[in-house]
Structure 1
Amino acid sequence: MAKSCIIIGGGIAGITAALSLSQIGISCTIYELRATPATIGGAVNLTPNALRLLESLDVELYGCRVDSIEIFSLHTGKKLGELPFRKFGPALRILREELLRALLRALSRKGVVVSYGYKLVAMKDESFEKEVTAVFENGEEIKADFVLGCDGVHSAVRSKYVDPERLPIYTNVAVAYTVVEDYGTKPHFHHTSMNSGRFGSLLTSYVDPDRTKVYLGAVMEVREQNDRQGWKVRGSDRQKTLDEIKRRYRNTAILCVNQLVQRADDFVFYPVYTLRAGGRWSRGRVLLLGDAAHCMPPQGESTRLAIEDGILFARVFETCVEVSVEEALQVYEKTRRPRIDAAYKEAVSRWESVKDKSWLMQKIIEWLMWVILWYKMSHFETSISYDVRKEVLRS
């Protein structure tokens, strides 16, 4: 039975995996490229099943309760429908950096160490040694029974060892987001809303328990490919981005949206990348988890899927005690791929709706929204009620 694990990447996937593995007695150390915990990523929606998984890991969260995601037309101001969570318990809207802090607090209670400023440069996985070695830029070489690559869509573990040919793909879509505290008119939504228009979608949501902060996230088509990691827009770029957002979303039929756009004075700009479907997830004693394995368009799936990855992987290791590490990785892949393939297909189909559209196409979408929501409701409910802890393992 493996006893030690190196995790490359100190984000949500890496920390969740470490928490899950520590519960079954596997010693983990996390190595993160950045010098400090990441703050890029906007707000995420944790569905009822994701919240139950995090509760099982002793993670304490503080965000805004969400009973449903309301959908509005920016053109008419009318409510087009909603995606309700009430049947399965509330969801939670929370800033990604707040979620990361909560995970780090839980990790600290477990005594798991995160080492920052470690850049992976190579991997040595010799089968006869029954160990894998991570080589870092500072010259350190660290051995463990297996390695998890949880370092995102631009994964060094994938590009340097597991699947070098599988490169990130820029989607021609970017997210610009900010948090507004003085938001003027009472918002048109109860907790969270997606506001649909010709020139992209605008997410507006409370992100704190007291509902004093409103997250504003613009998803829009941007052909120019810039800094892949995201940056805070300043100087001439800042004004250019502000002007572009105001062009797309000002003078809508929703007064609150107009005021939020006008009051926002700084944005983080985040180009969206994905990976092609499929691909290789493991090699020898090295496995990819989260976006490093299956980054897909961000339609509310990625965070929950990353959490599920770590919990399922720990369950495989806890159950498959009589097999080798390599065989356990294969059990994980065979069990996990069907769910990921289905989620990827759904995310891609929804992603096209965020790109620029003609006036007529936007009207057609709005007219048919109730039909679209009715058609997708069964899949939606199945997705938010799914419990990865009950998944049947496939050997």
Structure 2
Amino acid sequence: MTTTVLISGAGIAGPALAFWLHKRGFAPTVVERAPALREGGSAVDFRGEQMALLERMGILEDVRARETAMGAQVIVDTRGKKVAQMPSVFFSGEVEIERGDLTRILYDHTKDHVEYVFGDYITGLDERSDGVEVSFAHGEARGFDLVVGADGLHSGVRRLAFGEEERFRTDLGLHTAGFTAPNHLGLDHLGRLCSVPGRTVMVASGRDRSALNVSFVFASGPLEVGRRDVEAQKKALAERYADFGWEVPALLESLGGADALYFDSVSQIHLDRWSQGRVVLLGDAAWCAGPGGSGTGLAMMGAYVLAGELAAAHGDHEVAFARYEEKMRGPIKVSQKQAAGIGTFLAPQTRFMVGYRNFLYRVLGSKPMTRVFTWLTSRAANAATLEDYDAPVAARG
């Protein structure tokens, strides 16, 4: 009998795991709370060892066909004057793609072999000796051999299996927001970044020249804004950036009519272990690092390792989960350490620190520093090695 695996989350980590589980002879099902694939989202990049993973999956050409092809990121002051310029490799890696486009590619490569259930989510996990009885918000309860939480920073699976999020979340003192606006700046495969103490705005236009991808990053403690209260989030952003200057008034005007808004704290997840019985966590649900930690690539690498170890262990989840964690802990430690200091670059707290950050950008963006800079930005991506796994047929769960 084929081992059945329920994966919570149809973002990137979940479908990537489903891809490899199917290749290894397992029967994956993906459940997603949203009614359909989530479109749009910020761009994600790949570099170093992660490029080999995309090639091994057979999706590298698809990713290149939809890449943003971003050029330089220009740092400007509030008058719009250029103060520094960063090469594309810093923000965009070797290849960059919008999150929604990558999600679509992964879905298209798995939909014919993987069961997807949209518009539902897990509400209960009852582990038994031979599997897990899973309750859903809308659908009937079902039994699976294994359950994987690939449902992000605010993972429902993690809450059910390990406890409340606050026990494991470390906030980095930042909030971030992202949305799409009309490209009134006329940017063509270019980005702009502007900072004042404690607040930053980033805009970029890549494959779709009619649109601007807008990101706000600001220093902040906990905010009394509901995670699903989009209007309250928009109001909080408008108040926080009301006196920013530069192009922000036009961006805030576009924010009012934005169809979708991402708004959340910049946080990390730290767990003593990533599995509990037949339940295991993957990606941000297990180890969210934050911006600059190569999170998307490492989530896909983790999916590759988890599926490979399950196959190598012939479905023995205890052995496979332990090996998966052993191989991914080191790379995740590097990722989280690299991301922990991102606030110094994304939202410097004082006028002096803004100026110093811009000075560092000028130095790191110079031609003599290109090789060092590329190494610095690739440390997290190269921390996980792409192993070769045999593909035995999965055994019973």
Would you call these one fold, judging by a TM-score over 0.5? Answer: yes
Return the match for 2:320 from 328, 341, 351.
328
Structure-2 separation of matches of 1:270 and 1:214: 17
Residue 237 of structure 2 corresponds to residue 241 of structure 1? yes
2:386 alignment counterpart: 389
Structure-2 separation of matches of 1:228 and 1:205: 28
Task: Give yes or no for contact 1:298–1:347 (8 Å, CA) kept in 2.
Answer: yes
Which one is further off, 138-147 or 46-55? 46-55
SS in 1 for 2:160: helix
Q: 1:388 to 1:202 in 2, by over 3 A?
A: farther
Written as runs of structure 1 = structure 2, the 5 A alignment for 1:126-205 is 126=128, 129-138=129-138, 140-164=140-164, 166-184=167-185, 186-187=186-187, 190-205=189-204
Counterpart of 1:213, as a letter, is: A
Structure-2 separation of matches of 1:354 and 1:38: 26
Deviation of 1:43 after TM superposition, in Å, equals: 1.1
Written as runs of structure 1 = structure 2, the 5 A alignment for 1:297-316 is 297-299=290-292, 301-316=294-309
Which one is further off, 53-62 or 172-181? 53-62
Deviation of 1:282 after TM superposition, in Å, equals: 0.4
Structure-1 separation of matches of 2:351 and 2:103: 40
Counterpart of 1:173, as a letter, is: L
Q: 1:46 to 1:366 in 2, by over 3 A?
A: closer
Sequence identity percentage: 20
Deviation of 1:342 after TM superposition, in Å, equals: 0.7
Deviation of 1:365 after TM superposition, in Å, equals: 2.4
Counterpart of 2:241, as a letter, is: I
Task: Give yes or no for contact 1:12–1:100 (8 Å, CA) kept in 2.
Answer: yes
Counterpart of 1:381, as a letter, is: S
Residue 334 of structure 2 corresponds to residue 342 of structure 1? yes
Q: Deviations over 1:11-42 (max 9, x none)?
A: 21111111111112211011223333335x73
Structure-1 separation of matches of 2:141 and 2:181: 45
Return the match for 1:213 from 211, 214, 217.
211
2:393 alignment counterpart: none
1:366 alignment counterpart: 358
Question: Structure 2: which 5+ runs fail to align?
Answer: 391-397
1:70 alignment counterpart: 73
Q: Deviations over 1:81-103 (max 9, x none)?
A: 424539x9841241x33332332
Q: 1:324 to 1:182 in 2, by over 3 A?
A: closer
Task: Give yes or no for contact 2:280–2:321 (8 Å, CA) kept in 1.
Answer: yes
2:394 alignment counterpart: none
Q: Deviations over 1:75-131 (max 9, x none)?
A: 573353424539x9841241x3333233222222x33121123332222223xx332
Q: 1:238 to 1:288 in 2, by over 3 A?
A: closer
Deviation of 1:171 after TM superposition, in Å, equals: 4.5
- Provide the alpha-carbon RMSD of the alignment: 3.4
Deviation of 1:143 after TM superposition, in Å, equals: 2.0
Q: Deviations over 1:46-97 (max 9, x none)?
A: 22454553454344345444365535142573353424539x9841241x33
Residue 293 of structure 2 corresponds to residue 289 of structure 1? no
Task: Give yes or no for contact 2:196–2:351 (8 Å, CA) kept in 1.
Answer: no
Structure-1 separation of matches of 2:323 and 2:389: 11
Structure-1 separation of matches of 2:138 and 2:263: 29
Residue 84 of structure 2 corresponds to residue 80 of structure 1? yes
Structure-2 separation of matches of 1:335 and 1:24: 19
Structure-1 separation of matches of 2:252 and 2:322: 52
User: TM-score by structure 2 length?
Assistant: 0.80
Deviation of 1:142 after TM superposition, in Å, equals: 1.9
Task: Give yes or no for contact 1:175–1:271 (8 Å, CA) kept in 2.
Answer: yes
SS in 1 for 2:110: helix
Task: Give yes or no for contact 2:174–2:217 (8 Å, CA) kept in 1.
Answer: yes
Structure-2 separation of matches of 1:55 and 1:263: 41
Counterpart of 2:34, as a letter, is: R
User: TM-score by structure 1 length?
Assistant: 0.81
Which one is further off, 148-157 or 262-271? 262-271
SS in 2 for 1:264: helix
Task: Give yes or no for contact 1:42–1:217 (8 Å, CA) kept in 2.
Answer: no
Q: 1:340 to 1:224 in 2, by over 3 A?
A: closer
Structure-1 separation of matches of 2:223 and 2:66: 32
Q: Deviations over 1:179-233 (max 9, x none)?
A: 233424x43x75345444424222222242x533221111112445244545543
Residue 276 of structure 2 corresponds to residue 280 of structure 1? no
Question: Structure 1: which 5+ runs fail to align?
Answer: 252-256
SS in 1 for 2:342: helix
Deviation of 1:387 after TM superposition, in Å, equals: 6.4
